[in-house]
Amino acid sequence: MSAEIIDGKKVSADIRAEVAQAVKELQAKHGLTPGLAVVLVGEDPGSQIYVNNKERACAEVGFNSFKYVLPTETAQEELMKLVDELNARKDVHGILVQMPLPKHLDPTPVLLAIDPNKDVDGFHPMNLGRVVVGNALLPSCTPAGCIELIKRSAARMEGAHAVVIGRSNTVGKPVALLLLSENCTVTIAHSKTRDLPAICRQADILVAAVGRDRMVKGDWVKEGVTVIDVGMNRTDEGLFGDVDFDEVKEKARAITPVPGGVGPMTIAMLMRNTLKAAEMTL
């Protein structure tokens, strides 16, 4: 059996089209245009590309976008003051402070200062807590993207055994909790897990969020598994996931490629969260 390749680019484009349609309806019914403020401190080229991509995605779905580029030497108090101002603005529904910040700035108080109802990245402890209690108003974008890919690949989640490899606060834990909310039976594996291949072989749904090049081999999975590969490992041979795609696709029902799987979903879920944050103000 060769797997269905889950096309993250297409799903991402579909979701952005759905958001664009919802924006038109929001404008027609309520005269409301969602607004996303993106704050970039410093000149990290990677971050600049991310911020420009977000600005472009906003334009595409019909959001207002507000870009703040602050110099590298910006003081903590100045950044906190900007967050406070954005919290107070009625035309700003989502606030995103691009990470990583320059070394002299502490990200924690900045993230805590963002109004949880404008925290469209979903990193505020309040939003993680909402995921824990099964009320994921603004879930973090990559984990939410994983769930969306599973749903749109028509995998049955209720009662399925989902194995998540990785327990980071940004990916592994929220993915596991979102799967639990979908009525999966969830196992979370990590670097201290004993006999990881045997645990993975039990999975109906396998999510790998580790950061180890092609770690999950063909004999780690059972026939018919749905595989979501979050890993992004840059090697001399190119970009690879945590899953050995060539081996695992021969046994999987459906599998995400790297690149072109989970990666494109993050920005789509950011657009969806910003739409939700705007709707929450009605």
CB 254 within 8 A of CB 152: no
Contacts with ligand NAP by CB under 6 A: the residue count is 25
Segment near ligand NAP (CB under 6 A), from 16-24, 103-111, 185-193, 274-282?
185-193
C-alpha distances in angstroms, 115 versus 64, 65, 76, 105, 119? Answer: 19, 18, 17, 19, 6
Map residues 165-184 to x or -, x wherever contact with ligand NAP holds by CB under 6 A. Answer: xxxx-xxx------------
Min. distance of Cβ 119 from ligand NAP in angstroms? 17
Would you say 23 or 178 has its CB closer to ligand NAP? Answer: 178
CA distance 246 to 244: 6
- CB nearer to ligand NAP: give 53 or 191: 191
With CA atoms as reference, report the closest residue to 242 among 225, 264, 227, 223: 227
Whether 222 sits among the annotated catalytic residues: the reply is no
Q: Which of 98, 115, 118, 244 is catalytic?
A: 98
Site string for ligand NAP, 128-167 (x = CB under 6 A): --------------x----------------------xxx
Give whichever of 33 and 233 is closer to ligand NAP, judged by the CB atom: 233
Q: In terms of CB distance, is 23 or 225 closer to ligand NAP?
A: 225
Active site residue 121: yes
Q: Is 251 a catalytic residue?
A: no
Is residue 231 close enough to count as binding ligand NAP by CB under 6 A?
A: yes
Please say which residue, 82 or 210, places its beta carbon nearer to ligand NAP. Answer: 210
User: What residues numbered 59-78 form the site for ligand NAP, per CB under 6 A?
Assistant: none
Q: Of 266, 258, 254, whose CA–CA distance to 171 is shortest?
A: 266
Instruction: Tell me the closest approach of the beta carbon of residue 271 to ligand NAP, in angstroms.
Output: 14
Site string for ligand NAP, 193-222 (x = CB under 6 A): x--x------------xxxx----------
Catalytic one of 7, 115, 121, 204: 121
* Span near ligand NAP by CB under 6 A; candidates 101-109, 132-140, 179-187, 226-234: 226-234
Q: Output 213 or 279, the one with its CB closest to ligand NAP.
A: 213
Enumerate binding residues for ligand NAP (CB under 6 A).
142, 165-168, 170-172, 189-193, 196, 209-212, 230-233, 262-263, 266
Catalytic residues: 54, 98, 121
